[in-house]
Structure 1
Amino acid sequence: MSVRVLCAATAFACLLSSCAGKPPSEGGSLKTAFAAGNATGPLQAKDDANSPVALTPAAWGRMNNPGGLSGRTLTVNSLADLKLRNKEVVLTFDDGPVPKKTERILATLDDFKVKATFLMVGEMAKAYPKIARQVVDAGHTVGSHTFRHADLRKLAVDEAIAEINRGRDAVRLATRTDTNFFRFPYLSDSGTLRHWVAQNRMVVLDVQIDSKDYFGVSPAAVATRTMSELHRHGRGIILMHDIHNRTGAMLPALLTQLKAEGYKVVTLRYGGSRGPMLSAALERDADSDRS
C-alpha cells in the first residue's frame, strides 16, 4: 500500500473516531472497507484538490454488499407529508446535470441500489438534456432549482417567480417529467415565495444535513462532516451537489458508512397527478419530433 493511499484510508477512518462525533454503532467500518479494497488493487481517482481517492464505486459496492441500504418510498403532496423516521435520510443533489460528474454519481447510486432527488438548474438541464433524462430513466426523482441559480431574495417578487417558473419549465422539457420538488438557491427564501411555491404544486426541500461539499476540502473531510451532522440530527435531508468531483469521490464511502450504521435511504415521490403545463410541453415536443 502506498503512503498516499494509506493517508486517504486514514482520513476516511476518521468517520469511526472522534472526527465524526461518535463511532458507528452497527455494521462494519470504512477502515475495514479500505483494507479489503486495497488488497484487490483499487483504482485511483482524483478529487478537486488533486488528491488520490481509493476504490471505484463498483468496488465499494461489491465489497460492502450494499443491499439493505434502500428504505421506503415516501409519497408527499406538501411539506407536511415529509416526515422522516429515526435513521432515515433523503439524498439530494443540486445544481446539475454536468457531464461525467452526474453520471459518476448515478453509477454509485446504482451500485448501492438507492435513489436520490436531483434539483436541477434549468439552464444546466437545457444544456445537457440527455443526462437530465438519464437521471429519470435510472428511477431517481427530479426537482428544479431555478433557471440560473439566482438568489431569489435579491429579486423583486415577480422576477423571482419568473425565475422559478422558467427553471421548472426547462427541467420539465429536458426530463419529460413533472418537477414538483423545489429548492431555493443558497437556501435563500422568503415567506412570500414559500407560499407561492406551495400554492403552485411544488414542495420545498429544506436541508437538515449540509455536506458543504462546495468547500475546497478533501472527499474524506466532506464525508466526515456529513456523518457528524447526521449523528447530531439522527435523520434528515442531505444536501450535496453533482457538480463537484469531490462529491462523486466521497459518495461510496458515505453510503458505506450509512449502511454500516443502520441508516435507510428514503425515496421521495410526489403524490399529485401530471400537471397541464407538462402535458402541453410534451405534446409540443412530440409534434416537433414528428415534423
Structure 2
Amino acid sequence: MHRFAFYSGLLLCAAALAGCQTTKQPAPDKTIKTSSIVAPEGKQDTSGGDSTDQPRARGFGKQHHLAGRVMTVSSIHDIRLQDKEVILSFDDGPIPGRTDRVLATLDEFGVKGAFMMVGEMAALHPELARKVAMDGNAIGSHTYKHDNLAALTFDMAMAEVMRGEAAVTKATGVDVNFFRFPYLADSHKLRAAIAMRDMVVMDVDVDSKDYFNTTPAAVTKRTLDLLHKRGRGIILMHDIHNRTATMLPTLLSKLEAEGYKVVTLKFKKPVAPTVMASL
C-alpha cells in the first residue's frame, strides 16, 4: 500500500510538471508585443530534454557587484530600464531541485528575480514557493494551469487568472502583484482587467528560449546575443529546467563582467484619484 501511494505521488508530480511546460501547446499564430519590442513566438522543441553539460561558474564566495537599483512600480509603464539594466524573470515554477538552485545562485550574486508561478505548481510545493517570496523576490502569477488565455472566453480566462492568483497567494503567503500571460498570448481586454486587480503585466524583451532542448551554453549565448542588441531589458527564463539552473551562474558572471546591473522590482498600489465633492 505504501509503495502504491509513493508511485502515485510521483506520477501526480510528473503530470503537473508536464502541464506547466512552456512547450505544453504551440503558441498562437500571431506576433506578440513585448515591453518595448515586437517578436514572434518561435516553434518550440517538445523533446523536453535537460542538458547539463556546462560547468558552474567559478568564483562563488567572491564579492559581487551585480545588484542594481530597486524599482517601485504600479504598472508596466513604470518599468523604465536604463542602459545595461536587466530584470531577471522566471516562469512556470516552483519545482524542487531546480528552483532551489536558481535561488542559491541569485543569493550568491546578491540579486533578486521576478518569479511568475503557475498556481498548480505553487500548490504542489508551497514551502518552496514561500521561500522564493521570503528571499525578497517579486512574486507573480502565471495562471493556474498555464492555459492559453487567448483560446478561452473572457470569463473563462479571468477565472483561470483568479484561480492562479489565489493559489500563489495561499502558497507564498504574500500578495501577488505581477502577472505574465502563458505563451505571451494576451488581449487588450484581458490586460486591462488584470491591471484592475492591481497586478502588473510582465512583458518580455529578451527571450532566452531555455525551453528548447539545447545546452546551457547555447542558452547563455542566445540570451547575451539578444541582450547585446538591445542593451537592456526584461529577460525571460524558466526555473523548471535543469539547463537554466546550470547556466545561470555563468550568465550572471558575464553580465557582471560586462557592467550590467540587475534591477529589483517592488510593487506599490496605485493611488485612486480623489473625487472632490462640490461645495
Normalised by the length of structure 1, the TM-score is: 0.74
CA shift, 1:137, in A, is 1.5
Amino acid at match of 2:74: N
1:98 aligns with 2:95: yes
Partner of 2:60: 61
Q: 1:174 to 1:86 in 2, by over 3 A?
A: same
Q: Distance in 2 between matches of 1:66 and 1:239?
A: 26
Q: Is the 8 A contact 2:51 2:242 kept in 1?
A: no
CA shift, 1:50, in A, is 4.5
Q: Distance in 1 between matches of 2:158 and 2:218?
A: 36
1:122 aligns with 2:119: yes
Partner of 2:157: 160
Give the alignment partner of residue 183 of structure 1, picking from 174, 180, 184: 180
Amino acid at match of 2:54: V
Q: Distance in 1 between matches of 2:145 and 2:186?
A: 16
Q: Is the 8 A contact 1:48 1:246 kept in 2?
A: no
What is the DSSP-based 3-state SS (H/G/I as helix, E as strand, rest coil) of the residue aligned with 1:247?
helix
Amino acid at match of 2:95: V
Q: CA RMSD in A?
A: 1.5
Q: Is the 8 A contact 1:66 1:256 kept in 2?
A: no
Amino acid at match of 1:54: P
Q: Is the 8 A contact 2:89 2:236 kept in 1?
A: yes
What is the DSSP-based 3-state SS (H/G/I as helix, E as strand, rest coil) of the residue aligned with 1:119?
strand
Normalised by the length of structure 2, the TM-score is: 0.77
For structure 2, the residue ranges without an aligned partner over 5 or more in a row are: 1-47, 271-279
Q: Is the 8 A contact 2:51 2:213 kept in 1?
A: no
CA shift, 1:49, in A, is 4.6
What is the DSSP-based 3-state SS (H/G/I as helix, E as strand, rest coil) of the residue aligned with 1:134?
helix
Q: Distance in 1 between matches of 2:59 and 2:132?
A: 21
CA shift, 1:79, in A, is 1.4
CA shift, 1:102, in A, is 0.3
What is the DSSP-based 3-state SS (H/G/I as helix, E as strand, rest coil) of the residue aligned with 1:61?
coil
What is the DSSP-based 3-state SS (H/G/I as helix, E as strand, rest coil) of the residue aligned with 2:60?
helix
What is the DSSP-based 3-state SS (H/G/I as helix, E as strand, rest coil) of the residue aligned with 1:262?
coil
CA shift, 1:61, in A, is 2.5
What is the DSSP-based 3-state SS (H/G/I as helix, E as strand, rest coil) of the residue aligned with 1:54?
coil
Give the alignment partner of residue 109 of structure 1, picking from 93, 98, 106: 106
CA shift, 1:48, in A, is 4.5
Q: 1:77 to 1:156 in 2, by over 3 A?
A: same
Partner of 2:86: 89
Amino acid at match of 2:113: A
Residue by residue over 1:39-92, the C-alpha shift from the partner in whole angstroms, topping out at 9 and shown as x without a partner, is: xxxxxxxx955553223x6x4423xx3521000000001111111111100000
Q: Is the 8 A contact 2:50 2:241 kept in 1?
A: no
Q: Distance in 2 between matches of 1:257 and 1:145?
A: 29
CA shift, 1:134, in A, is 0.7
Amino acid at match of 1:183: R
Partner of 1:251: 248
Amino acid at match of 2:169: R
Give the alignment partner of residue 212 of structure 2, picking from 176, 195, 215: 215
Deviates more, 1:94-103 or 1:134-143: 134-143
Amino acid at match of 1:259: E
Q: Distance in 1 between matches of 2:127 and 2:92?
A: 16
Give the length in aligned residue pairs: 223
What is the DSSP-based 3-state SS (H/G/I as helix, E as strand, rest coil) of the residue aligned with 1:89?
strand
More helix by share: 1
Partner of 1:52: 53
What is the DSSP-based 3-state SS (H/G/I as helix, E as strand, rest coil) of the residue aligned with 1:195?
helix
Q: Is the 8 A contact 2:74 2:268 kept in 1?
A: yes
Percent of aligned positions with the same letter in both sequences? 53
What is the DSSP-based 3-state SS (H/G/I as helix, E as strand, rest coil) of the residue aligned with 2:64?
coil
